[in-house]
Amino acid sequence: MSNILNWIDQGIQWYNDYIGGYLILFLLIPTGVWLMFRLRFLNIRKLGHSIKVVSGRYDVQGAQGDVNHFKALTTALSATVGTGNIVGVALAIYLGGPGAVFWLWVTGFLGMIIKYSEVTLAQKYRKFNSDGTVSGGPMYYMEYGLKDKIGKWAKVMALVFATATIFCSLGTGNMAQSNSMSDALMTSYAIPTWVSGLLITFLVLLVIVGGIKRIGDVTSALVPFMAIIYIVAAMLVLVAEAPQLPAAFALIFKSAFTGTAATGGFVGSTVIMTMIWGIRRGLFSNEAGQGSAPIAHAAARTTYPAREGIVALLEPMIDTIIICSMTALMIIVTGVWQYAGKGVGMTVEAMNIGLKIIGIDGMGGHIISLSLLLFAFSTIISWSYYGSRAVIYLIGEKAVKPFLYLYGLFVFFGAIWGIDIVWHFVDMTITFMTIPNLIALHLLFGIVIKETRHYFKEMALLPKK
């Protein structure tokens, strides 16, 4: 069995190293830059409006959908704020050096406008199921939006995306999360991975069988709580290490364009590898361009597609520019990136060092473990929704329950398998979603412009609240 897994892992690594990584590099960043200029930096100009919408200022009674703007945002955020913020950032620095953080920031900034565009399209082309719930996402705007442009290939593209979403839900949103959870519990509390795997699986199934409304209820409570815990702890570390921050920023910007020589436990990197790892982990963190978040946002109650797009642009800012930056800066200012290995241990060591300076000794592991458990758990339950919507698109509503039990099984697999094969699988499946989605964004950009103009024209006519 181990030989088979090694053979599969080698094939996945070859694809990631020579095909997938470069395709993402040459598609994601140019798409974000193009969208940002065509939409006249809407991700900056309308940030204040986005916050007002999320606060409920423009909620409309009787609008079609399953959840309000806030719950749609927290559901999508709970799927993105996960192991990528704690483990993924550490891996990016381990493999790409401190310069990878710069490219992670670039991915987050451009991700705001990408996410606006894909969520606007998801709202425009969403469909209502027989039970009254909503299904939406890139597979729907590919099939129905691209039909007149590329004919039968629109359906083919949608089928590829939906299939990739199912695999990605089992990898990105499932195994990578349970793997990090079991690793954290083993590292901090010596709990065997199979025990934590069984417990996590049980708790996940308890939530996900209730559908999007129960998921929305859980995530709207978990996301703010878990974010506050982690952000406060990280801020304490950064305040304690404040004198090192200028040097950390200088190292990030310098290494982004020069690479980093190997030192201590760090493997060293070239400029191109620094870019690839920063972009990979940035994409894994905020999922902008991947097309996953539009599936959650399609369920939001709203009368304007662009309004939910405005809500969605907050995600990369919160997830990548704020939370990931805190993790990265902790790792760099404490110097642990040079010797602490890879994975969650690097972040734990950084937290321990920083908190010890202000007299809080030995708490880093507990804080990281709690944060990671909450982050990863919320991601697992949100990605079950993404996978189930893809199952409905491909097979039908009757296949959802069997899929959810299969999903639970993969939670257990992720908990007991090695970290390398899990993350290699994650990187591969992300590209299968991202590439067709970015192509669709280019082809449907005219619809995004039309909906944007319509929304802000209507907003100018509405009475001010």
Please state, in angstroms and rounded to a whole number, the distance separating the CA atoms of residues 77 and 305.
19
pLDDT in tens, 3-12: 777 788 888 8
More confident residue, 84 or 141: 141
pTM for the whole structure: 0.85
Assign 55 a pLDDT band (cuts: 50, 70, 90). Answer: confident
Q: Does the pLDDT of residue 443 top 90, yes or no?
A: yes
Q: How far apart are CA 256 and CA 271, in angstroms?
A: 7
458 pLDDT above the threshold of 90: no
What's the pLDDT tens digit per position in 134-160? 788 999 999 999 998 999 999 999 999
- Looking at residue 158, what is its pLDDT? 95
Tokens of 245: 């921050």
Report the range of poorest mean pLDDT among 153-167, 264-278, 329-343. Answer: 264-278
Mean pLDDT of all residues in 361-374: 80
Cα–Cα distance, 17 to 454 (Å, whole number): 43
| Residue from 167, 110, 117, 51 nearest 293 by CA | 117
Half-sphere exposure of 243 (CA within 13 A, CB side): 1
Q: Choose which CATH entry (1.20.1740, 3.30.450, 1.10.30, 1.10.287) describes domain 14-446.
A: 1.20.1740
Tokens in use for 264?
């201590």
Rounded CA-CA distance 56/223 in Å is 17
**278-315 burial, b for 16+ CB within 10 Å, e for fewer?**
bbbbbbbbbbbbbbbbbbbbbbbbbebbbbbbbbbbbb
- The predicted pLDDT at position 93 comes to 87
In this structure, the dihedral spanned by the alpha carbons of residues 29, 32, 35 and 37, taken in order and rounded to 10 degrees, is -80
Average pLDDT rounded to a whole number, residues 306-313: 90
Domains of the chain by residue range: 14-446
Question: Is the model's pLDDT at 265 over the cut of 60?
Answer: no
Whether 100 and 253 have beta carbons less than 8 Å apart is answered as no
The CB density around residue 324, as the number of other CB atoms within 10 Å, is 28
